[in-house]
Structure 1
């Protein structure tokens, strides 16, 4: 993941949004989807992804399904009902944050007297 607190603070929201859109996904699939959507600008590392997935699961926001694929076990993650509700809340909060930041950045010249 890019070395930015802004991205790190949004990781769970990113994961939840992708799961909302795609139904269920496995870890590597999530990392590749983020890379594709951001044209390679954002790379989520396993060291960031899996702790976030485990936290979401522990909080009751994710269900995990294990399937055998090509003789390997693969964990698929999907949102629970509470996870779906939490996704709506997080996306709403993120939209509000973005609007506020855009307002602040748009008014930067006025506040600084430039």
Structure 2
């Protein structure tokens, strides 16, 4: 089920959540963490990840720190204060979505 359209609308939330948990990460590290956490069920391509990271940076939700590691330049992304607030909002929005989808898909959840 990797790269399903169901996940595409959640990419921003996934990025914000991971950065909230790990302080700062670089792009490849984010893709590998998603792969690890989903046991390979979800893969994020560079073509999807980097436009999202750049958009979040432009919106003031991420700061970028450029470091040289083993003679390679890496861009580390971390949340701004506004990004941390947006993470809380996005996670609440996603929780609500999951709850509503669960109620629609499985009748046993409709009356909780």
Report if TM-score (shorter chain) is over 0.5. yes
Considering only aligned residues, what root-mean-square deviation do their CA atoms show, in Å? 1.4
How many residues end up aligned between the 2 structures?
108
TM superposition shift of 1:73: 0.6
Pairing 1:11–2:1 present? no
What SS class does the counterpart of residue 41 from structure 1 fall into?
Answer: coil
- The answer for unaligned runs of 5 or more in structure 1 is 109-114
Q: Say whether residues 1:30 and 2:50 are aligned partners.
A: no
Q: TM-score, normalised by structure 1?
A: 0.91
Gapped regions of structure 2 (runs ≥ 5): none
Partner of 1:43: 43
Q: Which one has a bigger Cα radius of gyration?
A: 1
Partner of 2:57: 57
Q: Give TM-score scaled by structure 2 length.
A: 0.92
Structure 2: how far apart are the matches of 1:77 and 1:13? Answer: 14
